[in-house]
Structure 1
């Protein structure tokens, strides 16, 4: 039986968001598969660390071939051929890496994306095996600063420039300013181009690619693609020195849950969309279930059960939330709900009298808090303890820390009450800064 792909949110290190090819060429499909491969690597490293195992730099990671290819919707019948092509591109491509807002320049350069790669058939099933360069493995294994990348969102984008631009811009979707860093035009061309620049036969130096042509042929297309198919909206802002355009940046904003639900291609309520994303599920996942014929009321009940299961600290963590949701739906198949579900889905102040237009009654900070709560729930218990300790320190300073709260931190029982509330705030400040709950427009509602 084919395994279901895990919750497709990849904590991609900020220093690995910008890939500037210096040797070789990378297609949009290969870049998307590379993200799935890195996400799989990260999950396997975390599992090994949890078991107390040491990950050697020469370690081979592995996954079923279909689990690497299916999430990005390659759409080719010959799975082996398409996978081989992408793995070969990764082996042959060398890139310079940069953070989208780095001041120190290139983080590391001229590194192949993979050290080794092979495909093996075992028991009639194809598996991919790969090893990463040590520098890349170390930052993927334990990213200190990262951007959550939704693999499903990437799967909708077809051009390389759109995929590359989305990865950069999504870094800023929760930033109060909503603006990417300003960079010179050559930087943007290099960051959004899938291959190294051609050499001038006379000077033997890389040919400069004109921004005006590149913008017209690729950037504008990518902007339209991102705005029409993803969960964010972007706008190009060009800066001039005199009359000449010399630098550029992008304005980025999150689409409301209702708009994002429409973008996903299937009609769903904004309430269902927000509940799903709060629990770490992509709208594409929910849309696929609706496409299969699952009633929205049944989906709501299944999501309530999923949220309750996630909160069970006495049980093992849910490895794949989507797989668990499918299992619940399978158990409730044929169950018909004749009246609207009254019980609140999300653990904020919702009552039976609350308007169903959920995104319009939540404040920006409440909406962000739900998203951040979902992120915190997605990290392992070892990493969560850091924020539990920060929360305890905050409560101690306020003079309201009790012996019971201290014991909860030591025992790992921190998913309730004021302790967990402070954990969410500690995580939010560390990941997004002290203004994590401040919108550009203070009156903005979701």
Structure 2
């Protein structure tokens, strides 16, 4: 195996990873894997391959400074604690390593024959089988000369293939670092395997195979292909074609009117307009994730938003959320994921404006985060800004945006403050003579999410703030 590792190190430039084909199509079985964890795992494999063989039984680990694997932690963060989240993912996630095709399954020798076969340069006897492992068997985090270091170990039965693969895909780590979603990273890794394939296509698989592999979760396999393609695959293809040296195209095969099988056409660009690989591997960037966690969001929500809206848009939304939180706002954000989603919807509406139908709520404007009600646009101002737009339509659109923003702000209020507003609304409708039995029952039960109550509540809230 030492001979094979030496060959790998000579053949691969410093910024390239020779990843075994058996590890390209992985499916987490017991939990989802984040894009940051997958990127970090690639960096760790690259470091391990360049450090060389550490014993066929995996008894000796591989070591590196933590900032060579993960970067972007905030100055005030506990790096070891934050990094532990990704390390724990690798150790606790059970992975099914799915073959791209029948001829590219694990090729492992019995332990007593492995060393002798590789030492003699002989060919391994292949054996087709499905194997499941944890990604790492042990990890140690510690301080060394004042710097955070990590030592890791691979399960012995897969270390042979991870460090000395019989077949591998050559991956550019700089490209992986720039891809912002799990689907894009997974699809790039698989397609890179076929970069120089004479047929120019990946293996043809049922669409459910692709959903599980490209989403990073076995739980995603029942997702309808049409929706998964539109939300995840198409944006990933655009990113790969823009950033990498590959040009890929989705090919679908139908049975009747429904898509049954899927594969991808892959070709190398004639004159790739991509940056050359850097001298060293690129650590996985956790900058935006760290910011989101500091604001109280969950990483799974952040990953989902990045899949849907893109990393740059999420970064802008976090900027807005951070400004509101840092302004000493008297109204804390209760549902932080819903709050961020409202900002993202506003940014998307700003980038791709559509003409709303009269009476249809539209996303909040992207000029500011849902926050103090003074930031909500007035219908009159929106009409003036509409220019040649029909004044009535412009006013309806502006009112819809204001209502949507008011609702987002109300949803972010603490429960006690929401209850106080409901008491005020109750007194108001009784005094105005507009109370109905159904509305009173909803108010007494504190069911502000009810469409009946919410419609009245939002308008009342706007009026009380002088924004109606």
- TM-score normalised by L of structure 1: 0.51
What residue is the counterpart of 1:98 in the other structure? 98
> For residue 401 of structure 2, what is the aligned residue in structure 1?
none
Match of 1:233 in 2: 247
The answer to whether the 8 A contact 2:37-2:89 is kept is: yes
Maintained 8 Å contact 1:30/1:86: yes
Cα distance in 2 between the residues matched to 1:135 and 1:92? 17
**Correspondence for 1:217:** 231
Aligned to 2:349: none
SS of 2:29's partner is: strand
Q: CA deviation at 1:100?
A: 1.6
Give 1:197's match in structure 2, choosing from 219, 227, 233: 219
1:96-131, Cα deviation, whole Å (9 max, x unpaired) = 102322358785433110111121101101111111
Could you say which residue in structure 2 is the equivalent of 1:249?
A: 263
The answer to whether the 8 A contact 1:45-1:55 is kept is: no
Secondary structure (helix, strand or coil) at the match of 1:33 reads helix
8 A contact 1:76–1:82 mirrored in 2: no
Partner of 1:333: none
Alpha-carbon shift at residue 135 of structure 1 (Å) = 2.0
Match of 2:86?
86
Could you report, residue by residue, the CA deviation over 1:152-183 in whole angstroms, capped at 9, with x for unpaired residues? Answer: 11001010000000000011111122111100
Residue 76 of structure 1 and its aligned partner are, at CA, apart by 5.2
- Aligned 8 A contact 1:98 1:107 in 2: no
Cα deviation per residue 1:28-57 (whole Å; 9 max; x = unaligned)?
Answer: 1110110111111222234x5xxxxx4432
Q: Is the partner of 2:217 in helix, strand or coil?
A: coil
Are 1:149 and 2:156 an aligned pair?
Answer: no
What is the rounded CA distance, in whole Å, between the counterparts of 2:219 and 2:131 in structure 1? Answer: 16
| Whole-angstrom distance in 1 between the partners of 2:174 and 2:43 | 10
User: How far apart in 1 are the matches of 2:175 and 2:129?
Assistant: 26
Contact 1:15 1:107 (8 Å CA) reproduced: no
Cα distance change, pair 44–208 in 1 and its aligned pair in 2 (3 A) = same
Structure 1 Cα separation of the partners of residues 52 and 232 of structure 2: 36
Residue 12 (1) aligns with residue 19 (2): yes
**C-alpha contact (below 8 Å) 1:90/1:112 kept by paired residues:** yes
Larger Rg: 2
RMSD, aligned CA: 2.4
Matches within 5 A, 1:26-425: 26-46=33-53, 54-70=55-71, 74=72, 77=75, 78=77, 79-102=79-102, 107-197=129-219, 208-257=222-271, 259-260=272-273, 263-264=274-275, 282-283=276-277
Q: 1:140 to 1:190 in 2, by over 3 A?
A: same
Distance 1:82 1:19 in 2: 24
Give 2:458's aligned residue: none
- What are the ranges of 5 or more consecutive residues in structure 1 without an aligned counterpart? 1-5, 49-53, 199-206, 265-281, 289-446
**Counterpart Cα distance in 2 of 1:44 and 1:165:** 27
Q: Distance in 2 between matches of 1:254 and 1:75?
A: 35
Unpaired runs of 5+ in structure 2?
1-12, 106-127, 283-468
Q: How many residues are paired up?
A: 245
Are the equivalent residues in 2 in contact too, given 1:99–1:107 (CA < 8 A)?
A: no
Structure 2: distance between partners of 1:39 and 1:225: 23
In structure 2, do the counterparts of structure 1 residues 108 and 66 end up closer, same or farther at CA, with 3 Å as the change threshold? farther
Asked if the contact 2:25–2:99 (Cα under 8 Å) also holds between the matched residues in 1, the reply is yes
Distance in 2, Cα, partners of 1:108 & 1:115: 19
Alpha-carbon separation, structure 2, partners of 1:152 and 1:129? 23
Check 1:10–1:107 CA distance in 2 against 1; reply closer, same or farther (3 A cut). farther
8 Å contact from structure 1 (residues 234, 250) kept in 2 = yes
Change beyond 3 A, Cα 1:225–1:75: farther
> Displacement of 1:150 after TM fit?
1.3
The 1:109/1:80 distance shift into structure 2, 3 A limit, reads same
